[in-house]
Amino acid sequence: NEKTLVTCKHPLIKDVLEYREAAKIANTYGEGYLQFEREDGKIHSLLIQAETSTGRYKSKKPNLQNFPSGVFKELLTLDEEESKEYILMSVDYSSMESRILAYISNDSAFISAVNSADVHWETAKLIWKLPDDAVIDPELRRSAKGVNFGIPYGISASGLVNRGFAETLEQAQDIIDGWYNSYRGADRYLKKCIQEATVRGYTQDRTGRIRWYEIPDSTKVSEDDYKKAVARAARQGQNMKIQAISASITKQAIYD
C-alpha cells in the first residue's frame, strides 16, 4: 500500500505512485464518467437531498462533488447553444464551517479570527503566540489551516502528521493543544456536543434536524465494542450541528 511504499528508498517508487494516481484518475473521471453519458451527450448527476444523516447533498451516478480542481475544471463546458444564453459560474464558501463553529459557540477570539483577512494566519499567530504584525509563514499557516478544518472532525495528532500538517506526533499535539487553548469557547461547545451524543443519544441543530447515535447497552456487548460505539458517537456528534447548518445554508442559498 501507499503508506508502505513511501517509506521505501528506491527510484522506482515515485513512478509507481504516479502511475497509480494517473490510473485512478483515468478510471474514475474518464471511463468511469463516460458510462453515465445520456442520449443528449451529457452527464446528469443525481443530487440527492434527503439521504445523508447531516442533511448534506449526496451526488451519485456519478459523484460530481469530489470532481478534482485544476485542469479538470477546464473540462466542464457549455455547448454552443447554451453559451448564447448562459454563463458557467463557480462559487465557493470561505471557511464556512469555521465561521459556523465560531458563531454557534459564541467564541469571541474565533469570531475575530474568521472575520479577519486570513483566518488561518490569525489562528497560527494565536497557536504560536506570534506578534500581530508577524510576516506570514506559509508552513505555520498551512498547519493552522489543517487544524482549523480538522478539529471539528476530531482529528488526532497522528491524523495531522499523516496529512502532512505536522512532522512529529509531539508537534502535532502541541498544535492541537494550542488551538483548544486559543479558542476555549469552541472547545467547550464541541465537548458539549460530544456529551449530548454519548449521554443523550442524539444531537439536534438549530433548524430542528436530529441525528441519532447507536450506543448499545454496555452489559450486552463486549467492552471493546461498547468503547468503539461511544467513540464513533463522539466523533459524529462533535461536528453534526456544524455540518447540518452548513447544509441548510447551502440549500437555502441555492433555493434563493
Question: Which of 213, 192, 211, 207 has the alpha carbon at shortest distance from 247?
Answer: 207
What pLDDT is recorded for position 70? 76
| Joined grid coordinates for residue 76 | 466542464
- DSSP letter at 37? B
**Grid cell for residue 236:** 459524529
Give the integer Cα–Cα distance in Å for 4 and 6.
Answer: 6
* Total-model pTM: 0.81
- pLDDT for position 200: 93
Q: If DSSP codes are grouped into helix, strand and coil, which group holds residue 211?
A: strand
What is the per-residue pLDDT for 164?
A: 86
pLDDT average per 10 residues of sequence, the chain (256 residues)? 81 90 87 90 90 91 83 82 88 88 96 95 95 93 93 88 88 94 96 95 93 92 94 94 93 89
Which pLDDT score is estimated for 152?
85
pLDDT of 133: 92
**Region of 224 on the Ramachandran plot (φ > 0 left; ψ -120 to 50 alpha; else beta):** alpha
Per-residue model confidence (pLDDT) at position 4: 81
pLDDT of residue 177: 95
Closest-CA residue to 30 (of 79, 80, 88, 75): 75
- Summarize pLDDT for 82-112 with one digit per residue, the tens: 889 999 888 888 889 999 999 999 999 999 9
**Residue located via cell numbers 469552541:** 186
What pLDDT, on the 0 to 100 scale, is given for residue 189?
96
φ/ψ (deg, to 5) at 207: -90, -5
3-state helix, strand, coil in the chain (%, to 5): 60, 5, 35
Three cell numbers written together for 170: 509531539
CA 58 to CA 66: how far, in whole Å? Answer: 11
Measured CA to CA, the distance from residue 77 to residue 43 in angstroms comes to 12
Pairing of strands 210-212, 202-204: antiparallel
* Cis-peptide, bond into residue 68, ω within 30° of zero: no
